[in-house]
Amino acid sequence: MEKQNKKKQTAQVISFQQTGEYYFYKGLRAYHHGDLLKAKKMLERAIHVEPNEATFLCQLSLVLTELGDYTYSNDLLSKVLDIDSSMAESHYFLANNFAHLGLFQEAAKHAKKYMELDPNGEFADDTEELLELILFETDEDWTEPNKEEDLIVRLDEARKLLENGEYHPAIVLLEDLVDLYPEFWPAYNNLSLAHYYKGEVTEAIDILENVLQKCPGNIHALCNLTVFLYYEGNNKAVKRLVNMLEKIHPISMEHQYKLGATFGLIGHYKDAYKWLKQLYKLGFFGDATYNYWLAISAYYNGYHDFAKSVWKKVIEEKPEKAGTEPWNEDNDAYRITIDTLLAATNLNEQITGLYLAGKTGVMRKHAANRLQSDKSKHPLVEHMLQALFANNQELAQRNVSKSLEILDTIFKEHSSNLSDSPTLLVHATKVLMLAIEKNTPIANVSAWAAAIEYSWQKLKDQSTTQLKIADRYEISTSTLQKYIKLVTSHIEQDALQ
């Protein structure tokens, strides 16, 4: 008996939640051992746990500087100063990064700010040397405005606004830029993106066509226009543009990446793999988006083992991508299910098919072509196409955006059992459509997802409990009960109509 008790004691599992500090020190150790990639990974985990810890952000910025990612490093340092403006060393690190980028006016501004805040600080001597170096490199008075540098800084401001979903301020800033500098093409390209993200597709396309009339070889404009027209279902125009893109052989890594990612987005995986793998061979240090398209294109070119090894990097940086691997499409029954849903006349089934297609690789193209050609499509389908295929849920109305989050939550819960997903998601879409039509506010994503699943289980006469569902979706049973009533009321009202 005593031995059995001991066995029970040793078999107990103690839940251990890693702290941000734990990952921080692991990252610091890796940094001191010269393993920059591991240091970056650990520090990003620390920040995921404690996103507003200035010390963690500052240390990651140093690692990024050594990796040559000066722009991302600067973004983090700016956030550090927002959190704690007294961290003078952040100004020194910013000055150093801007100098590497050749933005000497910005470098000098931050170097002077550091000397103002901490004239006898740890980096005072280094800062004075940096200021002397800037003066030597430029051979000019860097306190005076510099046109080229001003363009780059303001374009970077616009980029940050776009990333934060602040499209109107970005448009105002970019329109000012193109008025002042009519041949500054990067501003036009970003202005086009801002309009597209707002759902102003015609304006976005007009801007790019105008750029290409004046600068026919502009790779960014060609690539963006190709993607826009692809999602608009204009296959004839896309074919013409693809023929042009296939003849381009860019030298710069930036343009090779743009070209490869564009081919990936439109399903031309052979060309995508050619450019993205070439960058890989050159030691290109890409982000999660680069690794995503490299893995996708490798897989569809038959390099399955390589695709799976790259996919591991995608999951490290974007854990939410787990379950969306292209090899999950190998289940023919799953493909047939998606295609059947897309072809359905029932709107709930059609939207579910669109959602599932958006979760996969090659089915995206098929779904886009099928539904874009349907001129009588429901406004919600239009929103779904924009939100799912432009990868930008900001475009959709708030309730539609929240509905997509709910579908995501349910999909992740059932990603290991794809046979259940379609019918559950059709049910979820029906409930959410009813809520949208009745202008019911949709806010608590987990509660809606849990209540929808519970109602689905009950409709199928499956054995489950409110406690079990509440635990799975990490909500209280009282919250679940409240939302079950809400979901049930929508279903019952629909049945009466």
In degrees, to the nearest 5, what angle opens at C-alpha 39 toward C-alphas 34 and 41?
145
Residue-level pLDDT at 7: 42
Residue 404: which of 456, 439, 352 has the closest Cα? Answer: 352
Per residue in 3-30, pLDDT (tens digit) is 444 444 444 443 445 678 888 999 999 9
Let me know: does 149 contact 105? Beta carbons within 8 Å.
Answer: yes
Residue 272: which of 223, 320, 236 has the closest Cα? Answer: 223
Phi/psi region, residue 391 (left: phi>0; alpha: psi -120 to 50; beta: rest), is left
Q: Rounded CA gap, 136 and 130, in Å?
A: 10
Question: What residue ranges of the chain are covered by domains with CATH 1.25.40.10?
Answer: 20-136, 159-321
Q: Residue 89 belongs to what H/E stretch?
A: helix 89-100
**Residue 347 scores a pLDDT above 80:** no
Is residue 31 packed enough to be buried (19+ CB in 10 Å), middle (13-18) or exposed (0-12)?
buried
| 353 vs 23 pLDDT, higher one | 23
Q: Rounded CA gap, 190 and 240, in Å?
A: 23
Q: Rounded CA gap, 351 and 364, in Å?
A: 13
Name the average pLDDT for the chain. Answer: 79
Confidence bin at 143 (pLDDT 50/70/90) = very low
Per residue in 253-285, pLDDT (tens digit) is 888 999 999 999 888 889 999 999 998 887 776
Residue-level pLDDT at 14: 38
Give the pair of three-digit tokens for residue 450: 């849990």
Sign of the Cα torsion 24, 30, 32, 34 reads negative
Let me know: does 472 contact 446? Beta carbons within 8 Å.
Answer: no
Residue-level pLDDT at 383: 56
**Residue 378 scores a pLDDT above 60:** no
Give the pair of three-digit tokens for residue 490: 């929508």
Sign of the Cα torsion 301, 306, 310, 312 reads positive
Residue-level pLDDT at 344: 65
CATH number of 20-136: 1.25.40.10
**Residue 110 scores a pLDDT above 80:** yes
Give the pair of three-digit tokens for residue 481: 């009960």
Confidence bin at 375 (pLDDT 50/70/90) = very low
Per residue in 33-81, pLDDT (tens digit) is 888 888 998 898 888 888 889 999 999 999 998 888 888 888 899 889 9
Q: What proportion of the chain, given as a percentage, has pLDDT over 90?
A: 20
Q: What predicted TM-score, i.e. pTM, was given to this entire model?
A: 0.51
CATH class of the 159-321 domain in this structure? mainly alpha
Give the pair of three-digit tokens for residue 125: 């001597």
Residue-level pLDDT at 414: 76
Per residue in 203-258, pLDDT (tens digit) is 999 999 999 999 888 899 999 999 888 877 788 898 999 999 999 888 878 889 99
Residue-level pLDDT at 101: 76
Give the pair of three-digit tokens for residue 319: 């854990």
Per residue in 297-333, pLDDT (tens digit) is 998 888 999 999 999 888 887 776 776 677 765 455 5
Q: Rounded CA gap, 138 and 105, in Å?
A: 10
Residue-level pLDDT at 207: 95
Per residue in 389-426, pLDDT (tens digit) is 444 344 345 667 788 788 888 887 876 565 566 778 88
Q: Which residues contact 328 (CB under 8 A, 6 or more apart)?
A: 334, 360, 418
Q: Rounded CA gap, 337 and 423, in Å?
A: 10
